[in-house]
Homo-oligomer: A and B are copies of this chain.
Amino acid sequence: MNSPGIHIFPLEDIPEVTPGDDLAGLILEAARGALEPNDVLVVTHKVVSKAEGRLVDLREVEPSALAVRYAEQYEKDPRHVEVVLRQSQRIVRMDRGLIIAQTLHGFTCANAGVDASNVPGEEVVCLLPEDPDRSAREIREDLRSSLGFDVAVVISDSFGRPWRSGIVNIAIGAAGIEPLVDYRGKLDASGRELKATVIAVADELASAAELVTGKTDARPVVVIRGYCYEASDRGARALVMEPERDLFR
């Protein structure tokens, strides 16, 4: 029982974020001096996207014929479908009203990350940040400038996955933290060499943060304290598996 472990807590009272807002400033205000060196801040992508103005007014979207046909079949909004198609580089599956797509960044998820929940206005949808790793780096830099010490930033979204029910939070952006911890070549407790053990810790941190986020509350920023991570600026892009190496696909 001599390990201090890790502590995970949300920042309360982050106001509704609107395009152009200084997100790092809002985080610092909500934190009220409570941040510490090497804290990991997990930020729900929704507030990042909003601050960056990644909102699309559906009234300005002209749906393609494909979007119109698909929307008619499943009683969807054709303009919403159109936005999903525009955010996709590859359609994995298009069935029963759902679109599983590989986003322009390379992530594979439902509706290419285009989402209408927690967005103000009936006619507005929210995109993923254009470059979530860049977003994470910017937030981290801004925080460091004010704080005078380093924190890590993970930007999260909730993704479905094959074979398992339910969604989990994963990392779509990261800065200041190595997203993968490689145990290959290390020895297990029995002295045997560990094989094929590369752990996606950035995803695990995002999942851990979700446990205190809540979906219906406005708690978009979570602090994880006491987790020893390796500094790195590879970003969450390193978590996208190259198709030719992906045996699970």
Contact in complex: A96, B6 (CB < 8 Å) = no
Q: Is A175 an interface residue (CB 8 A)?
A: no
A183 within 8 Å of B by Cβ?
yes
Q: Does A117 lie within 8 Å of B217, measured CB to CB? A: no
Judge if A59 is at the interface, Cβ distance under 8 Å. Answer: no
Contact A198 B1 (CB under 8 A): no
User: Hey, what's the 0/1 contact readout for A125-148 against B, CB within 8 Å counting as 1?
Assistant: 000000000000000000000000
Taking the full assembly, how many copies of this chain does it contain? 2
Do residues B188 and A215 form an inter-chain contact, with CB atoms below 8 A? yes
Task: Give the complex CA separation of A125 and B32 in angstroms.
Answer: 51
CA distance A10 to B5 in the complex (A): 7
The answer, yes or no, to whether A174 is at the interface (CB within 8 Å) is: no
**What is the distance, in angstroms, from A29's C-beta to the closest C-beta of chain B?**
11
Contacting residue for A200 out of B1, B34, B98, B164, CB 8 A: B164
A52 proximal to B (CB < 8 A) = no
**Complex: chain B residue closest to A30, CB-CB:** B1
Which residues of chain B come closer than 8 Å to A30, judged between CB atoms? 1
Chain B neighbourhood of A5, CB < 8 A = 7-10, 212, 223
A189 to B169, CA, bound (A): 18
Are A198 and B167 touching (Cβ within 8 A)? yes
Contact present for B8 and A2 (CB under 8 Å): no
* Chain B residues whose CB sits within 8 angstroms of the CB of A158 once the complex forms: 197, 199
Is A95 in contact with B247, judged by CB distance below 8 angstroms?
yes
Closest to A205 in B: B211
Q: Which of A132-188 contact B (CB under 8 A)?
A: 158, 160-170, 179-180, 183, 186-188
Given contacts A158-B199, A164-B240, A170-B164, contact A186 B215 (CB under 8 A): yes
* Residue contacts A-B, CB under 8 angstroms, 21 given: A1-B12, A6-B7, A93-B247, A93-B248, A95-B247, A96-B247, A100-B247, A102-B163, A117-B188, A117-B197, A118-B188, A120-B190, A165-B241, A166-B200, A166-B201, A168-B199, A168-B204, A183-B215, A189-B218, A207-B208, A211-B227
What are the 4 closest A-B residue pairs judged by CB atoms, nearest first? Answer: A5-B9, A166-B200, A208-B208, A162-B248
